[in-house]
């Protein structure tokens, strides 16, 4: 049953179910938060502990709501290099200064996807990589092709993972982070995005040796991307 839950289609269903529950849960949490507020005078420490716990719970429900929401995804031909360039620029603004983000393009590749999906996936993988590089390090992002497939690699110089951890990273709610620091929804959502685009994701990692995520997506011709010479001509011909 666990394995079924993890598959991408089930993730979407889980997201919808969870989204419905999260909405009601959030309302209930708001009430608890309000009542805890009334306790502050008599028992400030307890009131604070309740408030912290409720805030953690409500950050979980917010993420669940986001998963359940039917996001309007606009899939279209995009070049991975320019999309990743923007996503990496965002990472550099977000991540601590001692984390270097390097982007290289071994071979340009194009896919059918919503740029926001690639952005989201980069943000999740990049944030995880940064969490694993507490002393600083390098996140290498590479765009490549393998035959008909577009390849995206995220490689960090962080702490890596043992095999037991690796076996569970795509399970919803699996996290090794402290309470309030992790939700365990980052990688399931990355995998959900990848599989919704017809692709696959693999993780290679060893404790103390860093981690590499390899994503393969169905590739398309670069010429299909809007703004590349050929597709402009095609567009003009259609009009």
- Choose between 186 and 219: whose C-beta lies nearer to ligand ADP: 186
Which of 115, 158, 192, 219 contacts ligand ADP by CB under 6 A?
158
Q: Could you tell me whether strands 137-146 and 200-205 are parallel, antiparallel, or unpaired per DSSP bridges?
A: unpaired
Q: How far is the CB of 72 from ligand ADP (least distance, A)?
A: 24
Q: How far is the CB of 138 from ligand ADP (least distance, A)?
A: 12
Residue whose beta carbon is closest to ligand ADP: 186
Q: How far is the CB of 143 from ligand ADP (least distance, A)?
A: 19
Nearest to 199 by CA among 111, 119, 140: 111
- Choose between 136 and 227: whose C-beta lies nearer to ligand ADP: 136
Q: Reduced to 3 states, what is the DSSP secondary structure of residue 209?
A: coil
Binding mask 109-138 vs ligand ADP (x if CB under 6 A, - otherwise)? ---------------x---xx--x------
Which residue is listed with tokens 């590089």?
133
The answer to whether residue 159 forms part of the interface with ligand ADP (CB under 6 A) is yes
Measured CA to CA, the distance from residue 121 to residue 192 in angstroms comes to 10
**227: Cβ–Cβ under 8 A, 6 or more apart, which residues?**
none
Measured CA to CA, the distance from residue 212 to residue 170 in angstroms comes to 14
**65: Cβ–Cβ under 8 A, 6 or more apart, which residues?**
19, 22, 23, 26
- Choose between 45 and 135: whose C-beta lies nearer to ligand ADP: 135
The two tokens of residue 18 are: 């969870």
Residues of span 171-230 touching ligand ADP by CB under 6 A: 174-177, 182-188, 211
Q: How far is the CB of 133 from ligand ADP (least distance, A)?
A: 8
Instruction: Identify the helix (H) or strand (E) that includes residue 113.
Output: strand 110-113
Q: How far is the CB of 44 from ligand ADP (least distance, A)?
A: 30
Measured CA to CA, the distance from residue 36 to residue 31 in angstroms comes to 9
Contact set with ligand ADP (CB under 6 A): 124, 128-129, 132, 156, 158-161, 165, 169, 174-177, 182-188, 211
């Amino acid at each position: 049953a666990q394995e079924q839950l993890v598959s991408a289609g089930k993730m979407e269903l889980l997201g919808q179910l969870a989204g419905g529950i999260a909405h009601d849960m959030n309302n209930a949490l708001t009430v608890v938060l309000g009542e805890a507020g009334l306790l502050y005078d008599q028992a400030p420490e307890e009131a604070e502990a309740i408030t912290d716990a409720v805030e953690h719970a409500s950050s979980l429900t917010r993420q669940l709501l986001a998963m359940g929401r039917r996001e309007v995804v606009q899939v279209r031909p995009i070049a991975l290099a320019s999309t990743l360039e923007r996503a990496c620029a965002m990472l550099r603004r977000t991540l601590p200064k001692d984390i270097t983000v390097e982007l290289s393009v071994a071979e340009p590749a194009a896919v059918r996807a919503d740029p926001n999906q690639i952005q989201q996936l980069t943000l999740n993988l990049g944030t995880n990589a940064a969490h694993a590089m507490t002393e600083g390090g390098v996140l290498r992002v590479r765009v490549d092709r393998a035959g008909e497939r577009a390849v995206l690699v995220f490689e960090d110089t962080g702490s890596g993972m043992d095999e037991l951890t690796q076996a569970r990273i795509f399970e919803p709610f699996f996290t090794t982070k402290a309470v309030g620091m992790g939700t365990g929804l980052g990688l399931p959502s990355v995998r959900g995005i990848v599989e919704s685009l017809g692709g696959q994701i693999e993780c290679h990692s060893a404790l103390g040796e860093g981690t590499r995520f390899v994503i393969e997506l169905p590739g398309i011709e670069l010429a299909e991307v809007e703004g590349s010479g050929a597709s402009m001509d095609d567009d003009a011909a259609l009009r």
